[in-house]
Chain A
Amino acid sequence: MITITPKRIFDVPIQATCINADVFTGKTLEEIKKLPITEGKENLILDEAFNISEDTAVETPNITLIGDFSKVKRIGQGMKTGEIIINGNVGMHTGEKLAGGKIIVNGNSDGWTGSEMKKGIIEIHGDAGDYTASPFRGTCTGMKGGLITVDGNVGSNVGCYLQGGTIKIKGSAGRFLGHRMTDGTIYVEKDCASRAGPFMTGGKIIITGAVELLMPTFTIDSIKPKVKVDANLTVQGPFYVFLGDIAERGTGKIFALKATNPALVSYEKYL
């Protein structure tokens, strides 16, 4: 196991694509210390910004990060195997394009966590920022598979262009949840801010808290007693099921819990 702690408080963002179990595998501690990173416009090596130590007795997790990493970007980018634990907050693009393995954040994560991921697990035991599980600006291919769990709240534009996989949020979600999603599942246990699922054409959004404002391009389809989130989890309802986004001729589904959404009663007359 490699343990990494910051040497100082960082002012400008650090790009640390090399903090990745795949990259560390087969390298000695000395080699790992010499891996390149950038701090702002400066080219550094890992050793110049971080204290790095190795504990050969422990195998998993492969990498443990301790301290404030909120200015450090792209940790675990494109990782295929292995496990990273971060005890502290972490910066943007953590686990971007993740293709396997596991990343656990015991703190908050910033924007674009799990962006465009294909496989693997990301567990965030704090809050997650805007654009979690969403592709970077301009990209039209989102998360394809895997699982993201967030114990806290998430920001806006979470799960944009979602094409597969599951996002479970124990807290509440910001605006534009599941923007342009085509498949996959987003489960929000608390409230969801306005305009969930704009332009969605497939997949499902499950909200067991209050829905702030439902887009007018969603129509009520039915009332279902329960809904399946994934193989291990089924949530008891009853739920209002909305179909949309009609503006895109979509067949995405928003499940809103009946008990927490008295304002949606008015839709029942259209059933």
Chain B
Amino acid sequence: MTEILIKNGFVIDPLNKIDCQKMDIAIKDGRIVEKVNERDAKIIDASGLTVMAGGVDLHSHIAGSEVNLGRMLRPDDHVKDAVRKTTLTRSGTGYSIPSTYVTGYRYSKMGYTTVMNPSMAAMKAKHAHEELNDIPLIDKAAFTLLGDWWFALETIAKGDLEECARHIAWMIRATRSYAIKIVNPGGLESWGFGRNVHSLDDEVPNFALTPRDIVTGLAKVNTMLNMPHTIHLHTNNLGVPGNYKTTIETMQALESVYKGDNKPVGHITHIQFGSFAGDNWAHFKSGAAEIANYLNSHNHMTIDIGQVTFADTTTMTADGPFEFSLYELGGHNKWVNSDVETESSGGIIPFHFKKKNAVNAIQWSIGLELSLLIKDPWKVAMTTDHPNGGPFYHYPRVFAWLYSRKAREATLKKCNKKAQRKSLLPTIDREYTLYEIAIITRAGNAKTLGLKNKGHLGIGAEADVAIYNINPETTDIAQDYKPARKAFSNATYTIKDGEIVVKDKELVAIRPGRTMWLDVQTKEPLRIDEELKRKFKQYWTIEFDNYPVTDHYIKVPEKITIQASV
């Protein structure tokens, strides 16, 4: 393999506490090394450029059944963003739900090298993996929806968490997944009966347990299994005014699992959609201050934002009841809603976030308020919950709003007048530094996900590097925000596993990315007995033997073996 030496760049590497130091980065055999032979190595002159680790996105719907349904639902989305083939790249379409290849190309051009697909219904895991295989240039992994899986609910209701842990471990392996995803715990099971849960203590029909039991139970199971990531939690009452109370209650419930060792026990995803205050849509306002206050005084949670970027996008989530209430708000729009038998549900609705709409503009403001009011950037990850808040290639806009007060004031001025009055943004002076941007886009995300070799440029790390045309010495990004925003949307260089894939802002090489999955070894494996098979026969439409994802479904697997403590 070729050796690469990146010379004289301004290196920003928060995990190794390097802030804008002029230094060289050496790469050999796909890893960062101490030094390489300068005569043999390929030299990249990065003087005047910023060097960071490859971006890590911990929540982006890029593959799976709901993404593909979204693609089928929206030919109007593709027609406005058709991508022609080149000698190197394949054709495809955007806009809010890009096709698999285009997803890989666009992430790589932004300097991202790792992306997590956060919701995969176990029954549709094979499909999700087939799509992940087709996304080039980025490493990826998927989180299985386990919050409303019947065996998990049964074992938690019985109080037998060890048995639950064995079931979860089996499922993580069977679906080739990386983490436990919980969506509207209890709500999805209720949705099968046309109902929803509205608080942490509502009873789930047919199971003698509450959302609180599910969340705390699975958080405990997660610790028992020594999973690298925490539970990935989409809260109850998402998208309902006044739901910030539910979000805080959920975080309070998880305090009981926290051992006080600064190791988070839960990750609340797209928290913007769970930070609404006010009694109804007319009195809709931001609950960001309350959420931020809580997070500033507690260390057991991490969050990602789910920022709204004002785009004509497609909302998609496993939270079927939420999508139904969104449909009722929106009027005559096309939509999809489903119940995935014993596991989950789903819904898709096209949605246009508009600056002139008071609620949309306040939602935009909430996302930024949260990012700016939570003091510790290591707790925050920057996402748009692609494609729910906006497509992922709008990230640079969000960076600009965060690092430049001027940029967010320019946007706020164009927003709905009522939203402007309600926004807390004019009272916030904080501007993210490049160091903090690096935390919320790569270092912090890798740490939250428990990816030891990603998100930093220390010796031994995977050689995923992004080089942006930003000179931190000569430019003040807060004042002159547009050039940096442009630089972030198209990296000068992207290096994936020691191979240059983007050079001078153009793709120059295509390589497949790996699919990471966990092999969680419990001390005693799950007993696959007749009773389990009988239940499968009775309640699932898929035979037990056809259920697990087998090895040949994943083209480039990266198995991570974990020893559980049960």
Chain A interface (Cβ within 8 Å of chain B)?
Answer: 135-140, 180, 182, 201, 248
Contacts and interface: CB of A to CB of B under 8 A. Distances in A.
A140 B75 contact: no
Contacts of A248: 332
B76 A138 contact: yes
Contacts of A180: 332
B333 A136 contact: no
A39 B79 CA distance: 18
B69 to A, nearest CB: 13
- Judged by DSSP, the binding face of A is loop
Contacts, number: 24
B74 interface: yes
B87 to A, nearest CB: 14
A201 B332 CA distance: 10
A136 B75 contact: yes
Nearest to B72: A138
B334 interface: yes
A180 B332 CA distance: 9
Given A138-B79, A140-B332, A140-B334, 12 more contacts: A137-B76, A138-B73, A138-B74, A138-B75, A138-B76, A138-B334, A139-B76, A140-B76, A140-B333, A140-B350, A182-B332, A248-B332
B332 A136 contact: no
Contacts of A201: 332
Nearest to B334: A140
Contacts of A182: 332
A242 to B, nearest CB: 20
Contact of A137 (B75, B332, B333): B75
Contacts of B334: 138, 140
Nearest to A182: B332
A66 to B, nearest CB: 30
A203 to B, nearest CB: 13
Nearest to B75: A138
A248 B74 CA distance: 22
A78 B164 CA distance: 59
Contacts of B333: 140
Say which size band chain B's interface belongs to.
Answer: 10 to 19
Contact of A135 (B73, B76, B332, B350): B76
Contacts of B350: 140
B496 to A, nearest CB: 31
Contacts of B73: 138
A135 B76 CA distance: 9
A138 B334 CA distance: 9
Contacts of B74: 138
Interface in B51-107: 73-77, 79
24 contacts: A135-B76, A136-B75, A136-B76, A136-B79, A137-B75, A137-B76, A138-B73, A138-B74, A138-B75, A138-B76, A138-B77, A138-B79, A138-B334, A139-B76, A139-B79, A140-B76, A140-B332, A140-B333, A140-B334, A140-B350, A180-B332, A182-B332, A201-B332, A248-B332
A124 B350 CA distance: 34
Contacts of B79: 136, 138-139
Nearest to A248: B332
Nearest to A139: B76
A136 B74 CA distance: 11
B83 to A, nearest CB: 14
Question: Which 4 A/B pairs are nearest by Cβ-Cβ distance?
Answer: A138-B75, A139-B76, A138-B76, A137-B75
B332 to A, nearest CB: 7
A102 B350 CA distance: 33
A188 B79 CA distance: 31
B177 to A, nearest CB: 32
B331 to A, nearest CB: 9
Contacts of A140: 76, 332-334, 350
A138 B332 CA distance: 13
A139 B75 CA distance: 8
Contacts of B76: 135-140
Contacts of B77: 138
B328 to A, nearest CB: 13
Contacts of A138: 73-77, 79, 334
A138 B75 CA distance: 5
B330 to A, nearest CB: 10
Contacts of B332: 140, 180, 182, 201, 248
A135 B79 CA distance: 12
Interface in B307-339: 332-334
Nearest to A135: B76
A137 B332 CA distance: 16
A138 B76 CA distance: 5
A139 B333 CA distance: 10
Contacts of B75: 136-138
Nearest to B73: A138
A140 B76 CA distance: 8
Count chain B CB atoms within 10 A of each CB in A137, A139, A201 and give the residue with the most.
Answer: A139
A136 B82 CA distance: 15
B14 to A, nearest CB: 43
A141 to B, nearest CB: 9
Nearest to A38: B84
A145 B400 CA distance: 37
A139 B350 CA distance: 10
Interface string B333-366: 1100000000000000010000000000000000
A138 B79 CA distance: 10
B317 to A, nearest CB: 20
A193 to B, nearest CB: 24
Nearest to A43: B84
B68 to A, nearest CB: 15
A55 B334 CA distance: 49
B351 to A, nearest CB: 12
A90 B374 CA distance: 59
Nearest to B79: A136
Contacts of A139: 76, 79
Interface in B33-52: none
Nearest to B85: A41
Nearest to A137: B75
A138 B74 CA distance: 6
Interface in B165-208: none
A248 B331 CA distance: 11
A240 B75 CA distance: 38
A222 B77 CA distance: 42
B215 to A, nearest CB: 37
A136 B76 CA distance: 7
